[in-house]
Amino acid sequence: MSVKVRILKNGTASILDKLGKVCEQLLLVPFFIMHWGVAYYGDWITLTILPSFLALSNLGFGTAVGNTFVLKYASGDRQGAANTIKTGLKVMHLGIIVLLLMSLGILEILNSMGVFSNLTISSLDAKWSVFFMFAAAVSTFYLAIFECFYRVVGQAHIGIFLQAVATFLKVGIGIVLLFMGANALGYAVLIFTTTVVVNIIYIFLSINFLKFQEYKTSNFDKKEAIFLFKKGFGYFLSPLWQAIYYQGTTFVIRIILGPTGVVLFNTVRTLINSSSQVFNIVVRAIYPEFHIAVGQNNKGKAKKLYSLIFLFNFIVSICFVIFFSLFGDWFYSWWTHNQLAVPTIVWMIMIARIVFYALWFSSASIFQAYNQPYPITITGVIISIISVVITWICSSLWGIVGAAIGILIFDVLMFLVLQIQSRRYLVISKADILASIRGINKKI
């Protein structure tokens, strides 16, 4: 199978996965409200905040193990890759057991303190619902490791496709459960059961694809465990700068511009940031091949593949700029039922940031491919703080226009700094990008 075919398959599977995520976020909501009511569903959302966060973060350790494994396996160090998996899995087994035991203790303490007593969901149901949703989220930590098994054998699309199928399956089972009258605990138990079964199938298939004979002679390595912890912590810190940026700017604008200002700002930002879904599909389509090329130390191939990520996301960003320039104001008015009016200058500033956002988003894939989380994490934290301060100053001076300037500066700075930082690992010239354009129809 050629690289081009694998990229197309990865892209198709990624689109399906995104559709599944959209269904999970949007399709279930009316069924929850219909069968549980607003108050009961509101309490359910509150209870699932921590499990939902964990499902997204995997504590960074799984990502560190997976990326380290790919780089070693692709470079030919299969025994080293096997040792990484053995070490990572042993630490993860222990970590998951500790997390589950800790969660039981914490939930029991919270229950005894009456934290769950004011909910429309009974205290007992609330406690065990959180535990089972937490356990379901924790069980997905393994996927960050075994996803890489599919990647190194050129079958990344199958891993992505299985995750998409799992999401659609959960949505379907969820709707059936709600029609059958399941309460919060019943829903949580069956979603946990479904998640575990799907994860087992996912892992079983990945092992069969890889046929990793070296694992039989692998060993646990303490130095490797420390290395993985350090890398994992870097990945885990990624949500930190995002929280500083998103929650920080939202808080500042709420204080300075009031509730109407923060609603207008966040709704416009949400609409503009919808472009990131397409950027993500582009990255997920090409990244598996790019990651393998990095592991093989094939600089030429890595440059071509990264140039494709950069080029396609640049083209997509221009398309979004044109779309939002022509239809953004109309679409926003329809979306918000004409409740809010966005000044033209704000639209211009927010649309301008799309290109910078696309390019720094593309650059971020370099750091993950080279298993170097700290440059982007530290950069993100520093620039997020700068952006929040600038947003505060500019909002005080120019209102909502100043707020837009603040987040434009964030994307511009992220683009400039990450371009410089990424050159430590991969230097892309204009000639490389032009070569990728000429080579799109040729074998990579």
Kindly state whether residue 173 falls inside one of the protein's structural domains. Answer: yes
State the burial class of residue 286 (Cβ atoms within 10 Å of its Cβ: 0-12, 13-18, 19+).
Answer: buried
Distances in whole angstroms, Cα of residue 372 to Cα of each of 129, 241, 265, 376, 381: 37, 16, 33, 8, 15
Alpha carbon distance 367, 24 (integer Å): 30
149 in Cβ contact with 209 (< 8 Å)? yes
Alpha carbon distance 28, 20 (integer Å): 11
| Same domain, residue pair 12 and 73 | yes
Number of domains forming the structure of the chain: 2
Kindly state whether residue 443 falls inside one of the protein's structural domains. Answer: no
Within a 10 A sphere around the Cβ of 398, how many other Cβ atoms? 14
Token pair 């592991």 is at which residue? 295
What secondary structure does DSSP assign to 87-153, as a single string?
HHHHHHHHHHHHHHHHHHHHHHHHHHTTTTTTSSS-HHHHHHHHHHHHHHHHHGGGHHHHHHHHHHT
Give the helix/strand (H/E) hosting 58.
none
Of the residues 169, 201, 233, the one at which a domain ends: 233
Total-model pTM: 0.86
Q: Which pLDDT belongs to residue 59?
A: 66
b (16+ CB within 10 A) / e for 15-49: bbbbebeeeeeeebeebbeebbeeebbebbeebbe
Kindly state whether residue 408 falls inside one of the protein's structural domains. Answer: yes
Six-digit token string for 400 = 């909502």
Within a 10 A sphere around the Cβ of 245, how many other Cβ atoms? 21
Per-residue pLDDT 10s for the chain (444 aa) are: 688 899 999 999 999 998 888 787 767 878 888 888 878 888 887 787 767 655 555 568 889 999 999 999 999 999 999 999 999 999 999 988 988 898 888 888 888 888 888 888 888 898 999 899 989 988 888 998 999 999 999 999 999 999 999 989 988 998 999 899 889 999 999 889 999 999 999 999 999 988 888 888 889 989 999 999 999 988 888 877 888 888 889 889 989 988 888 888 888 888 898 888 899 999 999 999 999 999 999 988 999 899 999 999 999 999 999 999 999 889 888 877 777 788 999 999 999 999 999 999 999 999 999 999 999 999 999 999 999 999 999 999 999 999 999 999 999 999 999 999 998 998 777 666 666 666 555 555
Alpha carbon distance 321, 132 (integer Å): 43
111 in Cβ contact with 123 (< 8 Å)? yes
Alpha carbon distance 376, 365 (integer Å): 10
| Same domain, residue pair 133 and 10 | yes
Within a 10 A sphere around the Cβ of 431, how many other Cβ atoms? 10
| Same domain, residue pair 243 and 211 | no
| Same domain, residue pair 214 and 320 | no
Of the residues 201, 233, 265, the one at which a domain ends: 233
Q: Which pLDDT belongs to residue 161?
A: 94
| Same domain, residue pair 36 and 123 | yes
Alpha carbon distance 138, 132 (integer Å): 10
| Same domain, residue pair 270 and 350 | yes
> From the centroid of its chain, how far is CA 365?
12
| Same domain, residue pair 216 and 162 | yes
User: If you ran DSSP here, which 8-state letter would residue 59 be given?
Assistant: G
Q: Which pLDDT belongs to residue 57?
A: 53
| Same domain, residue pair 168 and 250 | no
Degrees (nearest 5) of the Cα angle 236, 130, 21?
60
What secondary structure does DSSP assign to 233-302, as a single string?
HHHHTHHHHHHHHHHHHHHHHHHHHHHHHHHHHHHHHHHHHTHHHHHHHHHHHHHHHHHHHHHTT-HHHH
Of the residues 200, 218, 233, the one at which a domain ends: 233
| Same domain, residue pair 242 and 334 | yes
User: If you ran DSSP here, which 8-state letter would residue 442 be given?
Assistant: S
Nearest to 420 by CA among 373, 377, 363, 357: 363
Kindly state whether residue 184 falls inside one of the protein's structural domains. Answer: yes
Nearest to 388 by CA among 378, 377, 402, 375: 402
| Same domain, residue pair 110 and 184 | yes
Kindly state whether residue 212 falls inside one of the protein's structural domains. Answer: yes
Q: Is 336 helix (H, G, I), strand (E, B) or coil?
A: coil
Kindly state whether residue 384 falls inside one of the protein's structural domains. Answer: yes
State the burial class of residue 251 (Cβ atoms within 10 Å of its Cβ: 0-12, 13-18, 19+).
Answer: middle
| Same domain, residue pair 285 and 363 | yes
Cβ-based neighbours of 422, under 8 Å, separated by 6 or more: 363, 366, 367
| Same domain, residue pair 203 and 286 | no
Angle between helix 38-47 and helix 49-57 axes, rounded to 10 deg: 40
For the chain, the straight-line distance linking the first and the last C-alpha, in angstroms and rounded, comes to 12
Domain that holds residue 351: 238-438
Q: Which pLDDT belongs to residue 13?
A: 94
Kindly state whether residue 444 falls inside one of the protein's structural domains. Answer: no
Dihedral over alpha carbons 299, 372, 248, 260 (to 10 degrees): 30
Chain segment 258-277, per-residue pLDDT in tens? 888 888 888 888 889 888 88
Kindly state whether residue 279 falls inside one of the protein's structural domains. Answer: yes
